[in-house]
């Protein structure tokens, strides 16, 4: 059971990143490769505030959210400019990721660091398996973030307006929705969520500038597996991939984990192009 907890914890990290992918994708239709780098930035900001400046952890999380929201806004400023060719925004987000990683390396160097959390070092036995408090928090955070966003999208006017933009930008604009503001809002929200996630991911993974690049591939597969645009799908996909990856490493061999993860990606694209939760998208008029 200890293995299952470790797998769910890894899966929660992928899920948190997949959630932020979905926030941008749902509103703008763009896959934002920079989310991993923004998550790592959040981890560093929180580390700086809490471990170096000795601020209270909550303030560290809030600062990480604010800085990463600003990073998202800056990125949106470039990504949302009119492009000369189709899908140029994808390359723009890759460039943004590279720039963010470089900035983090300049400020904090490449040395691996271990952020602490108020619960660091506490281990519990749950269902017969040993689990660190930081790991339980990660799993809980993924669930809470998914539920909160689902409620916001389904039951608030602003959330439903965001979904309307995703569905048909021109129709939404004709209905008086400020599409450009919604797009900016998606990048800012995704940035803030990645910042919050980073503050909790850091104590589990350690932090180094390329942390986001380490996570981006599996999180992308989680995003595809669960169903692009589906928050619940991203979370379920992340947790499933955590289990697949860890159980493969345990019972088959580490050499096969990447192979199987990429196999899941290809299998999903072929058999379930819209992912597990992305199939019900036909509208009745």
Partner 1 sequence: MRRSTVMASSAIALIGMGLAACSSGSSGSGSAGTTSSSKAPFTVLAIVASSGGLAAVTQAEVSGMKAAAKYVNAHGGISGHQVKISVENDNLDPTTAASLLQKAVSSGSTPPDLVYAGTTSNEALAMMPILTQDKIFSLQVDVSDQTIDPATHPYAFSLATSSEDFALEVAATTKAHYPSAKKIGMIIGNDVNGTSLLQSEKPAFEKEGYAVSVEQYNPSTTINMVPQLEALRATNPQVLLASGFGAAAGYILKARSQLGWNIPVVGDASFSSNPLTSIASASALKGVNVLSSAPQIYKPLSSQSTAFNMLYKAVAPANGAFTVSFNLYEFGWDEIMVAQAAAKQAGSFGTAPMTQAMEHLKDTNNPMYLLGTYQYSATSHTPIRSLSSATLSSPYTKNGQSLPFGQR
Kindly list the residues in this chain that would bind partner 1 in the complex (CB under 8 A). Answer: 2-3, 6-7, 9-10, 13, 29-31, 33, 87, 90-91, 94-95, 97-98, 101-102, 105, 109-114, 120-121, 123, 130-132, 204-206, 208-210, 213-218, 220, 224, 228-229, 246-247, 249-251, 253-255, 257-258, 265, 269, 273-274
Work out how close the CB of 93 gets to partner 1 at its nearest, in angstroms, rounded to a whole number.
8
Work out how close the CB of 13 gets to partner 1 at its nearest, in angstroms, rounded to a whole number.
7
In eight-state DSSP terms, residue 276 is S
Residue 127 phi/psi, 5° resolution? 50, 35
DSSP string, 131-166: EEHHHHHHHHHHHHHHHHHHHHHHHSHHHHHHHHHH
Work out how close the CB of 10 gets to partner 1 at its nearest, in angstroms, rounded to a whole number.
6
Work out how close the CB of 66 gets to partner 1 at its nearest, in angstroms, rounded to a whole number.
26
Q: Which residues contact 144 (CB under 8 A, 6 or more apart)?
A: none
Quote the strand ranges of 80-213, DSSP E.
123-126, 129-132
**Residue 280: exposed, middle, or buried by beta-carbon count in 10 A (0-12, 13-18, 19+)?**
exposed
Judged by DSSP in three states, 46 sits in helix
CB-nearer residue toward partner 1: 146 or 230:
230
CB-nearer residue toward partner 1: 150 or 210:
210
Residue 214 phi/psi, 5° resolution? -65, -35
CB-nearer residue toward partner 1: 62 or 182:
182
Work out how close the CB of 123 gets to partner 1 at its nearest, in angstroms, rounded to a whole number.
7
CB-nearer residue toward partner 1: 149 or 224:
224
CB-nearer residue toward partner 1: 70 or 247:
247
Work out how close the CB of 228 gets to partner 1 at its nearest, in angstroms, rounded to a whole number.
6
CB-nearer residue toward partner 1: 4 or 64:
4
Exposure string of 56-92, with b = 16+ CB inside 10 Å and e = fewer, is: ebeebbbbbbebbbebbebbbeebbeeeeeeeebeeb
């Amino acid at each position: 059971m200890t293995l299952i907890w470790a797998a769910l914890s890894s899966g929660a990290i992928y899920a948190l990143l997949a959630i932020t992918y979905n926030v941008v994708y749902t509103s703008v239709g763009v896959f934002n490769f920079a989310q991993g780098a923004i998550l790592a930035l959040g981890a560093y900001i929180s580390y700086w505030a809490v471990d170096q400046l000795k601020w209270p952890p909550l303030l560290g999380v809030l600062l990480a959210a604010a800085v990463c929201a600003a990073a998202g806004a800056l990125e949106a400023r470039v990504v949302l400019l009119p492009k000369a060719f189709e899908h140029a925004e994808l390359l723009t987000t890759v460039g943004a990721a590279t720039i963010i990683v470089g900035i983090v390396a300049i400020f904090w160097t490449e040395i691996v660091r271990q952020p602490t959390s108020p619960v660091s070092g506490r281990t519990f036995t749950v269902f017969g398996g040993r689990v660190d408090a930081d790991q339980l928090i990660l799993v809980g955070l993924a669930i809470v973030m998914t539920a909160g966003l689902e409620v916001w999208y389904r039951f608030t006017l602003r959330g439903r307006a965001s979904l309307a933009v995703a569905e048909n930008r021109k129709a939404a604009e004709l209905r008086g929705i400020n599409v450009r503001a919604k797009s900016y809002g998606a990048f800012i929200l995704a940035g803030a969520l990645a910042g919050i996630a980073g503050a909790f991911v850091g104590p589990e993974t350690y932090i180094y500038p390329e942390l986001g690049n380490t996570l981006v591939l599996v999180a992308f597969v989680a995003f595809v597996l669960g169903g692009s645009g589906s928050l619940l799908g991203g979370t379920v996909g992340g947790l499933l991939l955590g289990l697949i990856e860890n159980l493969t490493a345990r019972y088959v061999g580490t050499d096969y984990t990447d192979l199987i993860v990429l196999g899941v990606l290809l299998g999903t694209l072929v058999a379930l192009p819209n992912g597990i939760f992305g199939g019900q998208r036909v509208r009745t008029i």
